[in-house]
Amino acid sequence: MANNCYECHSGLAERHRSGLRLDSRDAILKGGEHGPAIILGNPDESRMIRYVRHQGKKMPAMGKPKLSDLAIAALAKWVELGAPWPKTTVVPTTDNYDWAKAREHWAWRPIKKVIPPTVSGGRVRNPIDQFVAEGLHEAGFRQSPEARASVFVRRVFLGLTGLPPTPDELRDWSKRLGGDSVDELNDQAVSVLVDSLLNRPQYGERWGRHWLDVARYSDAGGWTQDNRSHPKAWQYRDWVVRAFNADLPFDEFVRSQIIGDKMGREAAAGTGFFTLGPTYASDGGDPESIAQAKSETLDDRVDTFSRGFLGLTVACARCHDHKFDPIPIQDYYSIAGVFNNTREGETPLADRKVIDAYHNARNPIDALHDKIGKSKKQPQSDEIKKQIANWQIELKELEAKAPPKFEFAHTLRDAGSEDMKVALRGNSMKPGKVAPRRFLRIVAGKNREHFNQGSGREQLANAVVDPTNPLTARVFVNRVWQH
């Protein structure tokens, strides 16, 4: 039924033909304009079974082929057994969500500024210590003894840079903190040590790696032969490291990875967050394979986007409403529609003078390649062979003098401004209702903004970093605490 009937008879159809829905047991028994679709235990008298047998009306309609004998027999047996149906039905519609109740969960609550508790006794250096000390006190615990200076130095070096201190650094910093014999470390020296490590390039290399894991970064797509080559993948890696070392504000960090190509040369490499994932280059050539390859690429981008920035598995709603979270299938295609209006490209990272010099040197080289290619298709007389040989000598000389290609980054670019249709059961060859590009309903509400400016990426980026969206901040803070 899902493969052959849902296009016209489900909550995802543009309209329900004959007023009939077949995506829930209750709807099937209720029927449409002509009465119940089935009679339990009696397939021969059931209108749906008669129609798929082509007894009277012929279904599926719209010129589609008759179902196989095996499929018809399976449907008839199902009706004969009383039309068993899963106890927990996932109906593809937003009507089954109690949105007000869903928003009562703490994850969807607005971010509030909390005043650190006042604590008496114990060692408190900052607001975080105040919360920890209060929790320990309420649980009936006492703080552990303060770490010795040498232990603290090793911990903070490893935590911030991933590298141990040298013997000289360990000795010098331990002394500045007060030495291993003191009960309490020198607060000012602790602050100076931490700041000095945050200013080291190794800090960005260490902490940038955690984000690169979120971005499923790899220098090459070696896990599959179906992936496009990304020789400049390292540009995104280095951009992440620079962002951490420059203490780039987090909202800019997020926006640069969604619309960096619109924010200037330095931010352009940020969209490698999307382009360096799996892309399906060899699609078989037939329409169904092409559509499937595109769907898989879009699914990776929706999944990486929602997990990375929002901590949500929106990709679980690709074929049906999310089983656990308030994410209907329409929301999946609202987000996928944004990326469906993009394409991969190469954004130059060099000055215009360098770019022009490269192209000026390549123009005669490309022209010679074209001449040689055309000449090789002609009958090979001695004169043509001699001409090709001379051109090849000239080609080698030009290539030896040509400058190397300028630096560039693999980036995302806008390539349209259309909304996407829901794919019934995740099959893009079976389109349902249009899903306007917009943010998640659970976050932005029912009357949320339609993303209609270009691909919609800029509006999407703004929605992610909007202060009224509680997920982005919570998720990143949790990622920091995780490590």
Which residues, at least 6 apart from 350, have a Cβ–Cβ distance to it below 8 Å?
406, 407, 408
CB distance 258 to 430 below 8 Å: no
Q: Report the DSSP beta bridge partners of residue 346.
A: 410
Do 261 and 412 form a contact (C-beta atoms < 8 A)? yes
CA distance 475 to 471: 6
Peptide bond into 348 cis (omega under 30): no
Looking at residues 431-447, what average pLDDT do you find?
Answer: 94
Asked if 332 and 433 touch (Cβ cutoff 8 Å), the reply is: no
- 290-298 average pLDDT score: 88
Distance separating alpha carbons of residues 262 and 360, to the nearest angstrom: 27
Residue 117 pLDDT: 93
Distance of CA 125 to the CA centre of its chain: 38
Rounded to an integer, what distance in angstroms lies between the CA atom of residue 53 and that of residue 43? 11
* pLDDT category of residue 422 using cuts at 50, 70 and 90: very high
Q: Is the pLDDT of residue 247 over 50?
A: yes
User: Helix or strand or coil: residue 381?
Assistant: coil
∠ CA 259-263-264, rounded to 5°: 130
Residues 64/131, Cβ–Cβ less than 8 Å: no
Helix (H) or strand (E) holding 50: helix 47-52
Higher pLDDT, 480 or 183: 480
pLDDT for the residue 91:
47
Q: How many CA atoms lie within 13 A of 318 on its CB side?
A: 18
User: What percent of the chain lies above the pLDDT cut of 70?
Assistant: 94
pLDDT at 109 > cutoff 70: yes
Q: CA 313 → CA 39, 271, 308, 325, 332, distances in Å?
A: 39, 21, 10, 9, 10
82: left (phi over 0), alpha (psi -120 to 50) or beta: left
Radius of gyration of the chain (CA): 31
Q: What is the mean pLDDT of the chain?
A: 90
φ, ψ of residue 287 to 5 degrees: the values are -55, -40
62 — alpha (psi -120 to 50), left (phi > 0) or beta?
left
* Whole-number Å distance between alpha carbons of 113 and 92: 38
- pLDDT, residue 97, reads 80
Of 95 and 402, which is predicted with more confidence? 402
User: Looking at per-residue confidence, does 362 or 197 come out higher?
Assistant: 197
Residue 449 in tokens = 């903004």
Q: What is the pLDDT of residues 304-359, one digit of tens each?
A: 999 999 999 999 999 999 999 999 999 999 999 999 999 999 999 889 999 999 99
Structure tokens at 396: 């080698």
CA distances (Å), 259 to each of 291, 344, 345, in order? 25, 13, 13
Mean pLDDT along residues 196-223: 90
Out of 78-87, 90-99, 213-222, 412-421, least confident range? 90-99
The rounded distance, in Å, linking the Cα atoms of 338 and 418 is 8
Residue 92 has pLDDT above 50, yes or no: no
